[in-house]
Amino acid sequence: MPSRRTSPPRPRASLIFGDLWEFDPAPETADPKLKPRYDLFIGGRFVAPRTGRYFDSVNPANERKIAEIALAGEADVDAAYAAAARAFGPWSALPGRERGKYLYRIARLLQDRAREFAVAETIDGGKPIRESRDFDVPMAAAHFFYHAGWADKLAYVAPGAAVSPLGVVGQVIPWNFPLLMLAWKLAPALAMGNCVVLKPAETTSITALKLAEILQDAGLPPGVVNFVTGAADTGAAVMGHPGAAKVAFTGSTEVGKRIMRQLAGTDTRMTMELGGKAANIVFDDAPIEQAVEGIVNGIFFNQGHVCCAGSRLLVHEPVADAVIAKLKNRLRVLRVGDPLDKNTDLGAINSAEQLSRIRRLVAAGVREGAVLYQPPCSLPGKGFYFPPTLFTRVTQSHRIAREEIFGPVLSILTFRTVDEAIEKANNTPYGLSAGVWTDKGSRILRMSTELKAGVVWANTFNRFDPASPFGGYKESGFGREGGRQGLLDYARLS
Ligand code: NAP
Ligand code: MG
């Protein structure tokens, strides 16, 4: 097909079939309806922080400031917990079907404003618009719908036991799926009758504050949900607050451990959704083309900023060369660049800090003797970008095989037997997810039993459903989000 370019050429962001094809820009143009400044959301209102301080939220695709976000201090976190405590009595006393109505309303209002939220998510965090539009926002709405459905059926969550809410719950979330992680946290807590104080990540607070507008429009009683924005100190204040009956954290294992030390000796309940270093295992009888798509999706979805990313490819020796050759071809046609372009496959890395972490670990991979492959690809001059990257000749002892890179970097190892694949896959402190590609059902069953991972995907990867519990083993954390099990983590049983 000849080039259809009509507008002046933009800087080349990617290569299609070598140098033959170039796509026209296809920017998403919906208005994200951003405010220049966002205050805290406490007691149903937007309030200025008592610290008097604000920090910038930046678009990682071009390093431009997009809004100012309030910096919450301890007094603000206290105020949020006080508002939540006041709201808890009446909220938990509502019949479940009434709480469910609020959750349905939130879900529908989010669907109404889906495009606007998708653009806001992409501008604030750097993920491709295709993903925020087709995954993050619809999945967030799905979590509210799913838990709305549970709200009047709580008697069936734990047959034989009565369930009741815990009280005020403190929640802290990361920057990789800002709105979706928020929905994972809010929906079950609210359905069960808890009230919430939540801190989004410093680099991606905007969709939480836009959701606060929806909570107002839905008429959610003041104080049921409170958002306090800020960085690590604000997070520590939310997690360590004496008013929290339970804390729920999603983020790195390192910070999770710090919170566990902070709360040791208290009776605050905890759930931890932490890091991962998933093995994606391809056997020689797998449908190879399909597996290659699954490998690409497993590691390049959301620039690899995914806790359950398939960041270690374990490939059966007889098909290793073929799989690697196909992967290299596939990488050459991935489009890296403007996250707002509907054709973009890999958007911006979330922050300068994350980009330097990726660069550090990739340099360690080269230094330790793994072989690097990056397709020819020119990156935009401004903003934080990293090309899709493969490492071959990786061994178990390499840092790139052991540490979570949280970027578009795949470490490839090989194996000869099923036992060796299981041994290598489990040889990690993490245990969040794994993938298995094979034609043999019996092998899938064996692998899913022996892999120490909270989720095992077979002949697919990165599939999610609100009805399916998600969570880790070992240093990937404890507790589940989604499904009946996720609700139980917000309930007292008697
Ligand atoms: P992070 O550095 O651990 O931060 C997570 C959240 O904790 C952020 O809101 C952060 O605030 C806050 N925080 C930092 N220090 C804190 C402290 N001392 N006390 C309380 N809160 C504190 O992780 P991240 O870099 O944002 O996210 C990436 C990590 O999240 C990866 O390891 C990934 O695997 C994990 N993750 C896990 C899951 C899962 O379901 N298992 C899902 C998504 C992500 P600031 O960012 O504002 O400083
Ligand atoms: Mg930002």
For residues 368 and 303, membership in a common domain is answered with yes
**Which mutation among 255, 258, 262, 301 tests ligand 1's pocket best, with the greatest number of atoms within 8 A of CB?**
255
Nearest ligand 1 atom to the CA of 477 is 41
Buried b (16+ CB within 10 A) or exposed e, 252-289: ebebbebbbeebeeeebbbbbbbbbbbbbbbbbebeee
Give distance in angstroms: CA of 184 to centre of ligand 1. 15
The residue behind tokens 């540490």 is 403
Please report, for the domain that includes residue 239, its CATH number. 3.40.605.10
Whether residues 288 and 155 share a domain: the answer is: no
**Annotated catalytic, 68?**
no
Give domain status of residue 73, yes or no. Answer: yes
Q: Answer whether 66's CB lies under 8 Å from 34's CB.
A: yes
Domain-embedded: residue 29: no
User: How many residues are given for the chain?
Assistant: 494
Total count of domains within the chain: 2
CB 258 less than 6 A from any atom of ligand 1: yes
Q: Cα–Cα distances in Å, from 246 out to 172, 181, 211, 262, 491?
A: 12, 17, 23, 13, 10
Residue 392 sits at φ, ψ, to 5 deg, of: -105, 175
Pair of tokens at residue 14: 């990617």
To the query of whether residue 308 is one of the catalytic residues in this protein, the response is: no
How far is CA 285 from each of CA 319, 346, 392, 439, 459, rounded to the nearest angstrom? 9, 30, 21, 6, 11
User: Is residue 401 lining ligand 1, measured as CB closer than 6 Å?
Assistant: no
Based on the fold, state whether residues 284 and 427 are members of the same structural domain.
yes
The predicted pLDDT at position 336 comes to: 97
80, 218: one domain: yes
Q: What is the best residue among 205, 227, 241, 250 to mutate for testing ligand 1's pocket, by most ligand atoms within 8 Å of CB?
A: 250
Ligand 1 pocket residue status of 28, Cβ below 6 Å: no
Q: Could you read off the pLDDT tens digit of each residue along the chain, which spans 494 residues?
A: 344 444 444 444 444 444 556 789 999 999 999 999 999 999 999 999 999 999 999 999 999 999 999 999 999 999 999 999 999 999 999 999 999 999 999 999 999 999 999 999 999 999 999 999 999 999 999 999 999 999 999 999 999 999 999 999 999 999 999 999 999 999 999 999 999 999 999 999 999 999 999 999 999 999 999 999 999 999 999 999 999 999 999 999 999 999 999 999 999 999 999 999 999 999 999 999 999 999 999 999 999 999 999 999 999 999 999 999 999 999 999 999 999 999 999 999 999 999 999 999 999 999 999 999 999 988 999 999 999 999 999 999 999 999 999 999 999 999 999 999 999 999 999 999 999 999 999 999 999 999 999 999 999 999 999 999 999 999 999 999 999 999 999 999 99
How many whole angstroms separate alpha carbon 276 and alpha carbon 453?
Answer: 9
Residue tagged active-site, from 28, 131, 202, 307: 307
Residue with the smallest CA separation from ligand 1 atom 39 is 273
Establish whether residue 239 lines the binding site of ligand 1, counting it when its CB lies within 6 angstroms of any ligand atom.
yes
The pLDDT value recorded for residue 22 is 78
| 257 assigned to some structural domain | yes
Question: Does residue 99 sit in the same domain as residue 198?
Answer: yes
Question: Is 122 a member of any domain?
Answer: yes
Tell me how far the alpha carbon of residue 375 lies from the centroid of ligand 1, in angstroms. 31
CA 212 to centroid of ligand 1, rounded, Å: 21
In a domain, 65, yes or no: yes
Question: What Cα–Cα distance (Å) separates residue 440 from each residue in 287, 372, 415?
Answer: 11, 32, 17
Indicate whether 330 and 399 sit together in one domain: yes
Residue 406 Cβ contacting ligand 1 at under 6 Å: yes
Residues 246 and 112 reside in one and the same domain: yes
Report d(CA 122, CA 128) in Å as an integer. 6
Positive or negative torsion for Cα 200, 202, 207, 210: positive
Check whether residue 305 and residue 191 sit in a common domain: no
> Residue 124 Cα, ligand 2 centroid: separation in angstroms?
4
- The predicted model scores a pTM of 0.95
Query: Is residue 262 in contact with ligand 1, taking CB distance under 6 Å?
Result: no
Q: Do residue 399 and residue 285 come from a single domain?
A: yes
Say if CB 408 and CB 389 are below 8 A apart.
yes
Of the candidates 251, 272, 278, 276, the residue with the CA atom closest to the CA atom of residue 461: 278
**What is the side-by-side strand order in the sheet with 195-199?**
45-47, 40-42, 225-227, 195-199, 168-172, 246-250, 269-273, 477-478
C-alpha of residue 53 to centroid of ligand 1, in Å: 22
Q: What CATH number does the domain containing 384 carry?
A: 3.40.309.10
CB 78 less than 6 A from any atom of ligand 1: no
Task: Provide CB contacts within 8 A for 109, sequence distance 6+.
Answer: 214, 217, 218
Any bridge partners for residue 83, and if so which? none
Atom of ligand 1 nearest to the CA of 174: 26
Q: Annotate the chain with three-state secondary structure.
A: CCCCCCCCCCCCCCCECCCCECCCCCECCCCCCCCCEECEEECCEEECCCCCCEEEEEECCCCEEEEEEECCCHHHHHHHHHHHHHHHHHHHHCCHHHHHHHHHHHHHHHHHCHHHHHHHHHHHHCCCHHHHHHHHHHHHHHHHHHHHHHHCCHHHCCCCCCEEECCEEEEECCCCCHHHHHHHHHHHHHHCCCEEEEECCCCCCHHHHHHHHHHHHCCCCCCCEEECCCCHHHHHHHHCCCCCCEEEEECCHHHHHHHHHHHCCCCCEEEEECCCCCEEEECCCCCHHHHHHHHHHHHHHHHHCCCCCCCEEEEEHHHHHHHHHHHHHHHHCCCECCCCECCCCECCCCCHHHHHHHHHHHHHHHHCCCEEECCCCCCCCCCCCCCCEEEECCCCCCHHHHCCCCCCEEEEEEECCHHHHHHHHHCCCCCCEEEEECCCHHHHHHHHHHCCCCEEEECCCCCCCCCCCECCCHHHEECCECHHHHHHCCEEEC
- What range defines the domain where residue 74 resides? 37-274+475-493
Task: Work out which ligand 1 atom sits closest to the CA atom of 230.
Answer: 47
Q: Which of 171, 249, 307, 404 to mutate to test the pocket of ligand 1 (most atoms within 8 A of CB)?
A: 307
Inside any domain, residue 466: no
**Does residue 345 share a domain with residue 238?**
no
136 CA distance to ligand 1 centroid (A)?
Answer: 18
Atom of ligand 1 nearest to the CA of 231: 47
Residue 27 lies in a domain: no
Q: Ligand 1, atom 40: nearest CA belongs to which residue? A: 273
Provide the pLDDT for residue 138: 98
Residue pair 158/235 in contact (Cβ under 8 Å)? The answer is: no
**Contact 431 CB / ligand 1 (< 6 Å):** no
The answer to whether 326 touches 292, Cβ cutoff 8 Å, is yes
In angstroms, the CA 184 to CA 141 distance is 10
Regarding whether 318 and 194 lie in a shared domain, the answer is no
Within a domain: 469: no
Same domain, 270 and 152: yes
Q: How far apart are CA 113 and CA 29, in angstroms?
A: 14
Ligand 1 pocket mutation, candidates 171, 172, 241, criterion most atoms within 8 A of CB: 172
